[in-house]
Structure 1
Amino acid sequence: MTEQQNLIYPGRVWNDTEGNRIQAHGGSIIAVDDTFYWYGENKERSTPGSGIWHWGVRCYSSTDLVNWTDRGLIIPPEPHDEESPLHPTAGMDRPHIIYNARTRKYVCWLKVMSKGSVQRSTVLVADDVLGPYTTVTKWLRPLGMSAGDFDLVVDPHDGKAYYYFERVHSELIVADLTDDYTNVTGYYSTHFPQPQPPYVREAPAYFARNRKHYLITSGTTGYYPNPSESAVAASYHGPYTILGDPHPTDASRTSFHSQLSSIFKHPGKRELYIALGDRWLPGYLDDGARAFQEFEAHFAPGRDGDEPMEEFAHVDSSIADYVWLPIRFDGDIPVIEWHDSWSPDDYEDA
């Protein structure tokens, strides 16, 4: 057992209450009653040369957002089924879970990458946030599109749900979900069109504040960090106005060497919004310009963007760290500043 802590240390190794490295990458937090559940990709076996992209979805519970207890694999891998989207070699990323009050089900969407630029979704449901989860749909191409990084949003007033996803290497899509949250209705809007990576916006992280709808997105440079971009709108479907990089004090232009996976509004604090990020490459703390230029050249017109980028291909995601930072607001503009350490206790109760 590790000693109880009361501080979050961005960029440092974060262990659970048993002293083991937390494995919840590309993760999110869902609050159920008085307990927080942090879940994400289990990368403990994703070492270089292993061929293992993931080992299921792992979950941790906490009452203070600092000390986390391992609750195990809520969605285990399926190593004996090579055709499964949950096979360890399948590129399963960024699980998101939302609760449907109408059906009383927890609904989980998974992004799954396959060869080339085709990315598809798998949808599962459960009666309890810790599972077991049952697959509803495999290999879904929502709206007939290749769907990459995404976020799921439920309106707290009417229960309507929305699916924000990167149309791979193209633009951002906001799509209405069906009443049971397991598919799209067909109604959608398009945002931030771009001709190619690294300009295409991915990793959308949504939050709402003062009746405004915010998105923070990343550029497209693989595991290599790049500047984030925030945008705001008066409705879920926009149109969105770009506000700029929410990390204005980061001279490296790398979002403090991280990529956001989601933004969590603490339900018990008046104004605590936490930007949850992964530091995929803890040993790579260079300026972001070089990687951006490499991806720009790789995806230039006439180049085969599916070819591997050898210099940028060696990643050990099993030792990736986390960068969690509070968001402050300059009027209505979100600002993320560096803290060597910080505590949720420092924020006023709601």
Structure 2
Amino acid sequence: MYKKLIYPIFFILFSCCCGADDSNINLKDENNNYINAHGGGILQYKNKYYWYGENRIKGNESGVSLYQSKDLKKWRYLGVIFKSNEIEPKSHSFFIERPKIVYNSSTNKFVMWFHVEEVSSNYKTAKVGVASSNDISGPYKFLYASRINARSHPINGNYVGSKLANKVNKDHSNIGQMSRDITIFKDRNDNAYLISSSEDNLTLSISLLSQDYTHTTGKYIRVQPGGYNEAPVMFFNEGKYYLVASGTTGWKPNRARLFTADKVFGYWKNIGDFVKGTDAKNINTTFQSQGSNYFEFNGDCYFMGDKWYPKDLSNSGYLFKKIIFSNDQSPYIK
């Protein structure tokens, strides 16, 4: 387990000993309503847990929902803490996906990052949105929406060994790179990073954030160019960084890939499957899910995913699996 005295607010995996049993997290709130917080995460703050994610309830204002619990059993619904129409007031032109909240101990603010799409763009908008608040439950002030790393080039240059080694998305260099599925990773030194599926989902990018966590700095690397990865989930354990990603098959689940590196801006190596076992269906579909985040509870590490139902997104399911570390410390779920 990480030292809570050093990192008392934002819930980060540094090192943990994980068992084989899955969690028994309640998927309904105290009013017996189904949790509606997709593509998000669970964060600990002042001895309470906050589950946030996309509000997909039909007929409701789209945006980011928030729930609070002391034990992951009894959830209190706190409402929609950020609405998509705050991106452009009096407009319903945009929608939000995969929100991620990170706490900045130097500014005492909660910063929310999310994927922004224009309704009619067919996922060509590919922007990030950023909002901040003095309180985890809001209100959140919308700061901006934009592409990432404008007028910047990756510090790892042409990626050796890739069929697209020489392909940098030059057409987007002035306005910034695409960013679709995202996550945020906060390291042990308080540096925070945005991990994005970029270049029309061809490539993952890892971008260093500013000290206040509200902007990318222009310092970034490309990971697995041409690998078609999305839904990134990143964590650290025993001196290694790990990145779990899915393939790009739309709403259809697929086989999760596992990458590792010695440094965030190091060489990321594909080390195989993230799901272990004998059930081919669960291996090939990552238990019919796509990763969204990770968290720690009672000394165990958990992989969190979404079981998307594209014809009824408001009733999409969830996956919670304990992460197990093998003798060589490689993580997996089974």
Of the three residues 216, 236, 243, the one matched with 2:264 is 236
The DSSP-based 3-state class of the residue aligned with 1:148 is: coil
Question: Is 1:211–2:215 an aligned residue pair?
Answer: no
Q: Which runs of 5+ in 2 are unaligned?
A: 1-21, 151-175
**How many Å separate the matches in 1 of 2:90 and 2:184?**
20
Conservation of the 8 A alpha-carbon contact between 2:244 and 2:258? yes
The DSSP-based 3-state class of the residue aligned with 1:163 is: strand
Of the three residues 109, 113, 117, the one matched with 1:109 is 113
Conservation of the 8 A alpha-carbon contact between 1:85 and 1:92? no
Question: Is 1:336–2:304 an aligned residue pair?
Answer: no
**How many Å separate the matches in 1 of 2:147 and 2:222?**
19
**How many Å separate the matches in 1 of 2:65 and 2:90?**
13
Task: Report the residue type matching 2:208 in the other structure.
Answer: D
Question: Structure 2 vs 1, CA of residues 86 and 256 (structure 1 numbering), >3 Å: closer, same or farther?
Answer: farther
Task: Report the residue type matching 1:277 in the other structure.
Answer: G
Question: Structure 2 vs 1, CA of residues 335 and 141 (structure 1 numbering), >3 Å: closer, same or farther?
Answer: closer
Conservation of the 8 A alpha-carbon contact between 1:77 and 1:86? no
Matches within 5 A, 1:169-184: 169-184=201-216
Q: Which residue of 2 aligns with 1:155?
A: 187
Conservation of the 8 A alpha-carbon contact between 2:63 and 2:95? no
**How many Å separate the matches in 2 of 1:86 and 1:19?**
32
Task: Report the residue type matching 1:27 in the other structure.
Answer: G
Residue identity over aligned pairs, in percent, reads: 32
| Alpha-carbon RMSD | 2.2
Question: Is 1:251–2:262 an aligned residue pair?
Answer: no
Question: Is 1:322–2:318 an aligned residue pair?
Answer: yes
**How many Å separate the matches in 1 of 2:304 and 2:75?**
15
**How many Å separate the matches in 2 of 1:220 and 1:261?**
14
The DSSP-based 3-state class of the residue aligned with 2:285 is: coil
**How many Å separate the matches in 1 of 2:233 and 2:90?**
24
Conservation of the 8 A alpha-carbon contact between 1:142 and 1:183? no
The DSSP-based 3-state class of the residue aligned with 2:323 is: strand
Q: Which residue of 2 aligns with 1:22?
A: 35
Task: Report the residue type matching 1:64 in the other structure.
Answer: D
Question: Is 1:166–2:205 an aligned residue pair?
Answer: no
**How many Å separate the matches in 2 of 1:152 and 1:160?**
11
Q: Which residue of 1 aligns with 2:172?
A: none
**How many Å separate the matches in 1 of 2:146 and 2:73?**
35
Question: Structure 2 vs 1, CA of residues 86 and 264 (structure 1 numbering), >3 Å: closer, same or farther?
Answer: farther
Aligned residues: 280
Q: Which residue of 2 aligns with 1:227?
A: 255
- Report the Cα offset of residue 318 of structure 1: 0.9
Question: Structure 2 vs 1, CA of residues 61 and 86 (structure 1 numbering), >3 Å: closer, same or farther?
Answer: farther
Q: Deviations over 1:290-327 (max 9, x none)?
A: xxxxxxxxxxxxxxxxxxxxxxxx52101111111111
Matches within 5 A, 1:256-295: 256-266=287-297, 268-269=298-299, 272-281=300-309
Higher mean displacement: 22-31 or 133-142: 133-142
Of the three residues 120, 128, 131, the one matched with 1:124 is 131
**How many Å separate the matches in 2 of 1:220 and 1:328?**
25
Shift >3 Å, 4+ stretches: 7-10, 85-89, 139-143
The DSSP-based 3-state class of the residue aligned with 1:322 is: strand
Conservation of the 8 A alpha-carbon contact between 1:55 and 1:88? no
Q: Which runs of 5+ in 1 are unaligned?
A: 1-6, 47-51, 282-313, 338-350
**How many Å separate the matches in 2 of 1:88 and 1:210?**
45
The DSSP-based 3-state class of the residue aligned with 1:36 is: strand
